[in-house]
Chain A
Amino acid sequence: MQGSENIEEIIHLMDIQKSYDVGGNLVPVLKGLDLAVMPGEFVAITGPSGNGKSTLLNMITGIDRPTQGEVIVNGSPVHTMSENQLATWRGENVGIIFQFFQLLPSLSLQQNVIMPMEFAGKYGRKERRERAMQLLEMVELSDQAHKLPGMVSGGQQQRAAIARALANDPPLLIADEPTGNLDSQTAETIFELFEKLVEQGKSMLMVTHDANLAQRIPRIIEIKNGVISCDSFRAPEIFTSNPVEALSVERG
C-alpha cells in the first residue's frame, strides 16, 4: 500500500478530528491531533475520562473512522479501508487487548488463541495448535489451555487475551485499560509481560489511568480536551536497550 513520507513510523496520525452526533448535536472528541510513533516504542496514553483516549485508540485500530485526517499504521492508510479490509488488516497488523478481556466464552483459552490465526489463514492446522500452546506457555497458561474463560481468573483471562493478541505476530499491540479490571498484583504481572514484549521488538500503545504504571512507560502522551496536551519521554536509563532519546515536549 502507498504510505506517507514518514515510512519509518509505525503510527502516523495527521490532523485527526472526530465528532459524534449526540441528540442532533455534533460533539467534537478529537480536535486536530497529530501523532507519530516509531517501531519498538512503548507509549502510554493518559488523560481525564471522556477526553478522547479510547477514541484515539479506535482511530489507530480502525475500529472507528476520523471525521477528518489521515491514519497511517504500519504503512497502511487505515482511514480509507472498508470494514472487510480493516478486519483482515487488523488480524495481521494489530493485536488488541481490551479492558474486559473479550474472550469468546464458549471457546477454550487455546481455541481463543487459535481463532485469529484461522481468520488470517496463517499457519497450518497443526502449527496453529502448537503456536497457540507456545503463546500460552509464554504467558504461563499452558496448563489452563483447555479451560473456558469463565473457569479462570481475571488475570489469567487477560494473559490469554494477550496471547491471542500475539497470535499472528503483529508488529503493533494496542491495549485499552488492560489492567483496569485487575488487582494491583495481577496488574503488575501483566505490565511486566508488556515490558517483555516491547523488549522483543513489539510496538505498544496502552491507555491507562494507573499513574504508577504510566510513570514506568518510556513515553507518555496526555490527551486533554481532544488534543495532545503533553508528549513526554522518560529518561533513557530505564530502557538500556532502547536508544530513543529522552525528550519532553509540552504542548499548550
Chain B
Amino acid sequence: MSSLFAKVWHDLWSNKARTIQVVMVIALGAMGIGLVIGGRNLIAGTIADQWRQAEPPNIKLSVTPPLTDQQLKQIERIEGVYQVEGLQSSSIEWRLAGDTEWQTARVESRQDWQDQKMELVNLVSGEWPGRNKIGVVKTADTLYGVGEGANIEVRAADRTRELQITGTLKPVGPFPVVFLGEPIFYADQRTFANLTGRDTYNLVQTRDIVFEQARAEATDLAIQDYFERIGVDSVGVLFPFQSRIVPPDIPPAAEILNALFLILGLIGVIIIAMGVFLVYNSVNAIITQQVSQIGVMKAIGASPRQVFFGYFLLVLAFGVFAALLSIPLGGLGARGLQSLFINLLNMEDPGFSLDFQAVLVQVMVAMAAPILAALFPLRTATRITVREAINTYGLTGSTGLIEQIITRLRTIPYSIILIFSNAFRNRKRVFFIELTLVLAGVVFLMVLGVNDSTRYTFGGKLTSIHNYQVTLQFDRLERTKRLESIAQSNSQVTDAETWLVLPATARPVSQEEELVTDARIRVFGLPADGDMYSPDVQEGRWFNEQDRRAAVITQSLAGEKGWGIGESLTITDANGREEDWLVVGINYDPLAGSAIFTPLSTLQREVGEIGKANTLWVKTITQEASTMEAVALDLSEAYESRNTEVAPSSAFGENTIAQIVKQSQDSFSIIFQLLAVMGVIIAVVGGVGLSGVLTLNVLERRREIGVMRSIGASSWRVIRLSIGEGVLLGWISWLIALPLSIPAAYLLATRGLSFALNQQLSYQFSAGGALLWLMLITIIAIIASSIPARNAAKVSVRESLTY
C-alpha cells in the first residue's frame, strides 16, 4: 500500500497549517491531562517523600497554659506515646540593626535542636542556635530581607536585645513559608526564655512506634484527660484543618491536593472533550474536501475498507504527532506545577522526572481521542459513492432557513449578510466549534467566578460579619473589665469587647456517652448585641441575652453533622462539664469553621467563670493594615507588661483582620493560579479550533472568493469578511457561555471547593470576568481569523476559477 502511505504523507505535508492545527488541538488536550496527572503525582510524591523524612508526629497540640518539662515527662508515660517533644513559639518584633521600623516575626525553640524527635528542622548552613545566636528560616533573605550573618534587634515582652543570625535552618518536608507573612527565627531555650520571659512549652507533639488510628484517638483522649486534671486546654494545630491527629503517611494538605487535582482533572477532561469535537470537525472537513478523491479511488478499484484504512492512517498520524508533542509539554507543565509547590512549600527539589502514569495516559488520549472523533467521519468516507465524486464546478450554496431569513432583510448591508451566511455555511461544523468555544467560555468564566467568590468571601463578606480590626487571645481567663480597660487606654482603639472562646465537643442529647466521632468545636461566648460581630443568620434567629442555653451553630457544623433548628446538643467543655443547649439558629461564617455561638453571660455562668474572658476584639481608629499591626503589637506588650500572657495566635490565627483576610485569600490564590493555567489552555484550544474552522470555510469558498475578486472586491473587504465571521462565532459563544457559567461557578465555589477545603464560600458573579472573556474571545477570534483571512486575500481569480 505504498501509494496510500504516500497519499497520507502528502496530505499531512502539503497542508502543514491544517496538520499543525489538528495536531496542536489534540496535543493541548493530552498535555492538559498529562499536566494534571503528572503534576499531581509528582507533587504528591515529593510531599509524601519529604514528609516522611520529617518524622511527622501523630498528635500535635497547642496548649494553654504552656507545659513544663515535668508535665512533658508525664505525657511520655501515657500509653500510645512513644516519643513526646515540647516546642516553643512566640510572636516578636524585629528589625535589622540600624533600621527604624519594627516588623513582626515568630521565634521558635525546642528542647534540644541537636536531638530533635519529630517535625525535624535541618541546619542548611552556619551554626545551630546558641546563646544569643539565632537561626533564620531558609528563603527569609529573599522574602523578608533578613539572612544569615545579619545582626538584628528583637523586641518582645518589653525587652529589646541585639542578636546575631548565625545559621540558616529549614523545616524538613513541606512548609509554606510564603503563607506565613513573616520570617521565623530559631533560638535555643535560654535565648527564647530571655527574649520572651517564658521557658515553658506551648506546643506539644507525640508519636507512637507504629501509627494506628484507633490507638491514636485513644491516646489523644488520654492526653486530654491528663490535661483536664492539670487545667490545660489544647487544640489541634495540624494543617490544614487544625486536626489533632494526622496519620503519618498522609502529608499535610493531602485532602486539599486531592480536591484541587480532582477539579483540575475535570477541567482536563473538558479540554479533551473540546479536542475531540475539534478533531471531529477537522477530520470531517478533510473528508469533505477530499470527496472527489475518495470517489476517484473507488472508481479505480478501492474498496471501502481500503478507503477507511487510508484515512485511518491519516488520523493515526495526527495522534502520533500529537503524542510526541504533548509528552514533553505535559512533562514540562507537570514539572512547572511541581516547582511551584516546591517553592511554596519550601521543599527540596528532587529534580526533573517524567511521571510514567501521566505519559501513558497522554499517549492513550492523544491516540484514542482523534480515532474516536474520526470514527463517524471515516464511516461517512467509506460510504461516499463514486457518483458524489463527479463534481459540478459552479458555485453552490445553502438555501436553508437562515439564508432565507437573511435574504429577506434587504436593508442589511451585504457584508453583514455574507458574514452570517458564511459563518453558518456548515451547520454541523458551527455546532461543534460553538460547543468548543462555549465550553472554553464556561470554564474560563467559572474560574474567574470562583476567584471573585473567594475574594468576596474572604474580603467584603468576611469583614461584613467580623467587624473588628484586632484580636488577641490570652493564655488564661482574665477579668473582662480589666482586659477592656487596658485596650481602651490605647489611643488608636475606639471600641473593645471580650469574648470567651473555649474548645469543646458536641453530640446530640440522645447520645448518652462521648464518642471519638463527636464534633470537635469551639464555643464562642459573645455579647448578643455586641459591635464586633454581625451574624449572617441563614435559618432561625440569633440569640439574645435572655436566652437560656440557646446556641447558634455555623452552617459548616450544621452541614457536617446534619443538625438543624430545634436540635438539642450536649456540649462538653475541656473540663468535662456537660450541659444541654438548644439550637435556635444557623449562621454563615467563613472563618469560624465548626462552631457554636452563645450569649457570653450564659457561657460564663455555665463554666463558672463569671466576668472572665480569654479573647479580646478591638476596633481601631483607621483600617489601615499598618495601624492594625501596630495596635496588635502595642496591646500585646501592654498585656504582657501587666503579667497577662498573650497567646502566639488569636482565635482565628492572625491578630489583625487584614492579616486574616490575606491569609485566607492567599490559601486560595494557588488554586486560582492552577485553575487559571487550565483556563489559558482552554482558551488556546478554543482559538486553535476556531482558526481551523475559519480556514476550512475559506478553503471551501475559494471559488466564491475568486468570483468576488473578479467583480471588484478588494483584499481588505475579503479579510474583513473572514474576521467578521470569526468574531460573530466568538460573540455567539459568549452569549451562550455566560448564563451557563453562573450555575457552574456557583456549584464549584459553594459546593466543590467549599467541601474540599472545609471553607464555606459565598458565590459572587464576576461582572469583570464576563467583560474580560468578551474581550478575550474577541481578540482570540481576530487572531484566529487572521491567518485564514490572509489566505483568503491571497486567492487569485485565475487559480480559483480554473479547475
Contacts and interface: CB of A to CB of B under 8 A. Distances in A.
Given A84-B303, A87-B304, A119-B303, A106 B10 contact: yes
Nearest to A58: B387
Nearest to B300: A116
A91 B10 contact: no
A119 B299 contact: no
A91 B300 contact: yes
B702 to A, nearest CB: 14
Contacts of B303: 84, 87-88, 119
B218 interface: no
Interface string A75-110: 000000001100110111000101010101111100
Interface in B708-767: none
**Interface of B (DSSP majority class):** helix
A68 B6 CA distance: 41
B296 interface: yes
Contact of A106 (B11, B297, B385): B11
A165 B385 CA distance: 19
A106 B111 CA distance: 79
B385 A87 contact: no
Contacts of B546: none
Interface in A48-91: 54, 58, 61-64, 83-84, 87-88, 90-91
Q: How large is the interface on A (under 10, 10 to 19, 20 to 34, 35 or more residues)?
A: 35 or more
B306 interface: yes
B11 A64 contact: no
B310 to A, nearest CB: 10
Q: How large is the interface on B (under 10, 10 to 19, 20 to 34, 35 or more residues)?
A: 20 to 34
A171 to B, nearest CB: 15
Nearest to B385: A83
A114 interface: yes
Interface string A115-156: 110111000010000000000000000000000000000000
Contacts of A115: 3-4, 297, 300, 302
A169 to B, nearest CB: 12
A120 B4 CA distance: 13
A164 B2 CA distance: 16
Contacts of A125: 2
Contacts of A108: 6
B297 A63 contact: no
A107 B10 contact: yes
B300 A119 contact: yes
A252 to B, nearest CB: 31
Interface in B292-316: 292-293, 296-306
Contacts of B293: 104-105
A231 B720 CA distance: 57
Which of A87, A96, A181 has the most chain B CB atoms closer than 10 A to its own CB?
A87
B391 interface: yes
Contacts of B11: 106
Contacts of A104: 7, 293, 296-297
Contacts of A54: 390
Interface in B375-408: 383, 385-387, 389-391, 393
A98 B304 CA distance: 21
Which of B2, B10, B300, B390 has the most chain A CB atoms closer than 10 A to its own CB?
B300
A168 B387 contact: no
Contacts of B14: 106
Which of B3, B14, B297, B393 has the most chain A CB atoms closer than 10 A to its own CB?
B3
B390 A63 contact: yes
B299 A61 contact: yes
A20 to B, nearest CB: 11
Contacts of A61: 299, 386
Nearest to A55: B387
A165 B296 CA distance: 11
A119 B299 CA distance: 11
A111 interface: yes
Nearest to A104: B293
Given A106-B7, A106-B10, A115-B3, A100 B301 contact: no
A104 B294 CA distance: 9
A167 B299 CA distance: 13
A98 B298 CA distance: 13
B296 A87 contact: no
A90 B11 CA distance: 25
A122 B4 CA distance: 15
Contact of A83 (B2, B292, B304): B304
B214 interface: no
B391 A100 contact: yes
Given A106-B10, A115-B297, A118-B4, A64 B387 contact: yes
A54 B297 CA distance: 19
A53 B298 CA distance: 21
Contacts of A120: 301
Nearest to B383: A83
Contacts of A119: 297, 300-303, 306
A91 B387 contact: no
A116 B2 contact: no
Which of B299, B303, B383, B386 has the most chain A CB atoms closer than 10 A to its own CB?
B299
B1 interface: yes
A96 B299 contact: yes
A164 B300 CA distance: 8
B305 to A, nearest CB: 8
Nearest to A64: B387
B411 to A, nearest CB: 31
Given A107-B10, A116-B301, A119-B297, A63 B4 contact: no
A148 to B, nearest CB: 8
B2 A88 contact: no
Which of B2, B10, B296, B387 has the most chain A CB atoms closer than 10 A to its own CB?
B296
A114 B300 CA distance: 11
A108 B292 CA distance: 17
A115 B298 CA distance: 11
B3 A107 contact: yes
Which of A64, A83, A120, A125 has the most chain B CB atoms closer than 10 A to its own CB?
A83
Nearest to B301: A91
A100 B803 contact: yes
B307 to A, nearest CB: 9
B10 A87 contact: no
B301 A87 contact: yes
Nearest to B11: A106
Contact of A63 (B1, B385, B393): B385
A19 to B, nearest CB: 15
B302 A87 contact: yes
Contacts of B298: 83, 87, 90
Nearest to A108: B6
A168 B1 CA distance: 16
A120 to B, nearest CB: 5
B284 to A, nearest CB: 19
Nearest to A106: B10
Contacts of A107: 3, 6-7, 10
Contact of B300 (A58, A62, A96): A96
Contact of A114 (B3, B297, B299): B3
B304 A168 contact: no
A110 to B, nearest CB: 9
Interface in B1-43: 1-4, 6-7, 10-11, 14
Give the 7 A-B CB pairs with smallest separation, nearest first.
A91-B301, A106-B10, A119-B301, A63-B386, A116-B300, A115-B3, A102-B296
6 contacts: A54-B390, A83-B304, A88-B303, A106-B6, A111-B6, A164-B300
Given A87-B301, A88-B303, A107-B3, 16 more contacts: A58-B390, A64-B387, A90-B298, A90-B299, A91-B300, A91-B302, A96-B300, A100-B391, A102-B296, A104-B296, A106-B11, A108-B6, A114-B2, A116-B300, A120-B301, A164-B300
Interface of B: 1-4, 6-7, 10-11, 14, 292-293, 296-306, 383, 385-387, 389-391, 393, 803
Interface of A: 54, 58, 61-64, 83-84, 87-88, 90-92, 96, 98, 100, 102, 104-108, 111-112, 114-116, 118-120, 125, 164-165, 167-168, 181
